[in-house]
Amino acid sequence: MASLFRDRGLGESKRDMGSSRTPVSDLVSPFGELGCNLSCSELRETAYEIFVGACRSSGGKPLTFISQSERGIAEKMEKTLSVSPSSASPSLQRSLTSTAASKMKKALGLKSLKNKESSPSKSKRPVTVGELMRVQMKVSEQMDSRIRRALLRISAGQHGRRFEQMVLPLELLQQFKASDFPDPQEYEAWKMRNLKVLEAGLLLHPHLPLEKSDPSAQRLRQIIRAASEQPLETGKNTESMQVLRSAVMSLACKSFDGMAADVYHWADGCPLNLRLYQVLLEACFDANEETSIIEEVDEVIELIKKTWPVLGLNQMLHNLCFSWILFDRFVATGQVENDLLFAADNQLAEVAKDAKATKDPIYSKILSSTLSSVLGWAEKRLLAYHDTFHPGNIESMESIVSLGVSAARILVEDISHEYRRRRKEEVDVARNRIDTYIRSSLRTAFAQKMEKADSSRRSPKNRLNPPPVLSILAKDISDLASKEKEVFSPILKKWHPLAAGVAVATLHACYGNELKQFMSGVTELTPDAVQVLKAADKLEKDLVQIAVEDSVDSDDGGKAIIREMPPYEAESMVANLTIEWIRTRVDRLKEWIDRNLQQEVWNPRANKENFAPSAVEVLRLADETLDAFFQLPIPMHAALLPDLMIGLDRSLQQYISKAKSGCGTRNTYVPTLPALTRCTTRSKFQGVWKKKEKSQNFQKRNPQVGTLNGEDTFGLPRLCVRMNTFHHLRTELEALEKRLVTYLRNAESANGDVAGGVENKFELSIAACQEGIQQLCEATAYKLVFHDLSHVLWDGLYAGDTASSRIEPFRKELDANLEIISSTVHNRVRSRVITAIMKASFDGFLLVLLAGGPSRCFTRQDSQIIEDDFAILKDLYVCNGDGLPEELVDKASTQVRSVLPLFRAETESLIDRFRRMALESYGSSAKSRLPLPPTTGHWSPTDLNTIMRVLCYRNEDAASKFLKKTYNLPKKL
Q: Which amino acid is at 7?
A: D
Q: What is the 3-state secondary structure (H, E, C) of 136-155?
A: HCCCCHHHHHHHHHHHHHHH
Report whether pLDDT(389) > 60.
yes
CA 441 to chain centre: 18
The maximal CA–CA distance of the chain, rounded, in angstroms, is: 186
- Can you name the residues that pair with 128 across neighbouring β-strands? 95
CA dihedral (232, 234, 240, 245) in degrees, to 10, reads 120
pLDDT at res. 19: 35
Is-cis flag, bond preceding 85, omega within 30? Answer: no
Contacts of 205 (CB under 8 A, 6+ apart): 34, 35, 269, 270, 271, 272
CA dihedral (574, 578, 584, 587) in degrees, to 10, reads -140
Task: Using the CB atoms, write b or e for 552-571: b if 16+ within 10 Å.
Answer: eeeeeebeebbeebeebebb
Report whether pLDDT(421) > 80.
no
Question: CA 290, 291, 295 angle in degrees (round to 5)?
Answer: 90
Q: How confident is the model at residue 685 (pLDDT cuts 50, 70, 90)?
A: very low
pLDDT at res. 758: 45
Q: Which amino acid is at 48?
A: Y
Question: CA 658, 662, 668 angle in degrees (round to 5)?
Answer: 140
Report whether pLDDT(115) > 60.
no
- Can you name the residues that pair with 711 across neighbouring β-strands? 709
Task: Using the CB atoms, write b or e for 955-969: b if 16+ within 10 Å.
Answer: bbeebbebbeebbeb
Cα separation, 731 vs 535, in Å, equals 42
Q: Where are the alpha helices (DSSP H) in 784-906?
A: 790-793, 808-824, 827-851, 862-878, 886-892, 894-899, 901-904
Contacts of 168 (CB under 8 A, 6+ apart): 49, 50, 53, 266, 267, 310
Question: What average pLDDT score do residues 923-940 get?
Answer: 80
CA dihedral (337, 341, 343, 347) in degrees, to 10, reads 160
Q: How confident is the model at residue 111 (pLDDT cuts 50, 70, 90)?
A: confident
Report whether pLDDT(528) > 50.
yes
pTM to 2 decimal places: 0.72
Report whether pLDDT(311) > 90.
yes
Report whether pLDDT(477) > 90.
yes
| 160 vs 838, residue with greater confidence | 838
| 626 vs 557, residue with greater confidence | 626
Q: How confident is the model at residue 61 (pLDDT cuts 50, 70, 90)?
A: very low
Report whether pLDDT(693) > 60.
no
Closest to 442 measured CA to CA, from 516, 400, 372, 492: 492
Backbone angles phi, psi at 954, to 5 degrees: -80, 125
pLDDT at res. 218: 92
- Can you name the residues that pair with 285 across neighbouring β-strands? 293
Backbone torsion region of residue 54, taken as left when φ is above 0, otherwise alpha when ψ lies between -120 and 50, otherwise beta: alpha
DSSP summary character for residue 930: P
pLDDT at res. 787: 93
Question: What average pLDDT score do residues 854-860 get?
Answer: 91
Asked if 178 contacts 184 with a C-beta cutoff of 8 angstroms, the reply is yes
Closest to 618 measured CA to CA, from 626, 607, 610: 626
Percent over 70 (pLDDT), the chain: 83
- 3-class secondary-structure state, position 721: helix
- 3-class secondary-structure state, position 293: strand
Sign of the dihedral through C-alpha 97, 101, 106, 109: positive
Q: Is 204 exposed, middle or buried (0-12, 13-18, 19+ CB in 10 A)?
A: middle
Domains located in the chain, CATH noted: 39-110+125-313 (no CATH), 315-427 (no CATH), 438-568 (no CATH), 572-661+718-761 (1.10.357), 789-967 (1.20.58)
Report whether pLDDT(722) > 90.
yes
Cα separation values, 306 from 54, 193, 299, 937, Å: 6, 23, 12, 132
Cα separation values, 954 from 14, 794, 861, 936, Å: 148, 19, 11, 20
Question: What average pLDDT score do residues 461-484 get?
Answer: 85
Contacts of 739 (CB under 8 A, 6+ apart): none
Backbone torsion region of residue 113, taken as left when φ is above 0, otherwise alpha when ψ lies between -120 and 50, otherwise beta: beta
Cα separation, 269 vs 197, in Å, equals 11
Cα separation, 478 vs 484, in Å, equals 10
- Can you name the residues that pair with 954 across neighbouring β-strands? 858
Count Cβ atoms below 10 Å from residue 305 Cβ, excluding itself: 17
pLDDT at res. 419: 54
| 422 vs 193, residue with greater confidence | 193
Cα separation, 614 vs 336, in Å, equals 82
Cα separation, 352 vs 356, in Å, equals 6
Lowest mean pLDDT among 152-156, 478-482, 809-813, 923-927: 923-927
Percent over 90 (pLDDT), the chain: 55
Q: How confident is the model at residue 684 (pLDDT cuts 50, 70, 90)?
A: very low
- Can you name the residues that pair with 293 across neighbouring β-strands? 285
Question: What average pLDDT score do residues 331-345 get?
Answer: 90
Backbone angles phi, psi at 293, to 5 degrees: -90, 140
Count Cβ atoms below 10 Å from residue 951 Cβ, excluding itself: 23
Closest to 254 measured CA to CA, from 210, 199, 310: 210
| 553 vs 941, residue with greater confidence | 941
Beta strands in 355-440 (DSSP E): none
- 3-class secondary-structure state, position 954: strand
Lowest mean pLDDT among 401-405, 427-431, 969-973: 969-973
Q: Is 752 exposed, middle or buried (0-12, 13-18, 19+ CB in 10 A)?
A: exposed
pLDDT at res. 7: 34
CA 697 to chain centre: 79
Report whether pLDDT(263) > 90.
no
Q: pLDDT, tens digit, for every residue of 212-242?
A: 888 999 999 999 898 888 888 887 778 888 9
Asked if 725 contacts 600 with a C-beta cutoff of 8 angstroms, the reply is no
Q: How confident is the model at residue 258 (pLDDT cuts 50, 70, 90)?
A: low
Cα separation, 204 vs 218, in Å, equals 12
pLDDT at res. 206: 93
pLDDT at res. 646: 93
Q: Which of 53-57, 336-340, 588-592 has the highest mean pLDDT?
A: 588-592
Q: What is the mean pLDDT of the chain?
A: 84
Report whether pLDDT(422) > 70.
no
Q: Which amino acid is at 765?
A: S
Beta strands in 223-332 (DSSP E): none
Contacts of 112 (CB under 8 A, 6+ apart): 101, 102, 105, 106, 295
Q: pLDDT, tens digit, for every residue of 440-469?
A: 999 999 999 999 888 877 666 656 567 888
What is the separation, in whole angstroms, between the first and last Cα of the chain? Answer: 154
Report whether pLDDT(76) > 70.
no
pLDDT at res. 883: 87
Q: How confident is the model at residue 8 (pLDDT cuts 50, 70, 90)?
A: very low
pLDDT at res. 972: 78
pLDDT at res. 97: 60
Q: How confident is the model at residue 709 (pLDDT cuts 50, 70, 90)?
A: very low
Closest to 574 measured CA to CA, from 625, 634, 643: 634
Cα separation values, 677 from 702, 850, 905, Å: 25, 11, 20
pLDDT at res. 256: 64
Count Cβ atoms below 10 Å from residue 328 Cβ, excluding itself: 23
Asked if 148 contacts 81 with a C-beta cutoff of 8 angstroms, the reply is yes
pLDDT at res. 86: 43
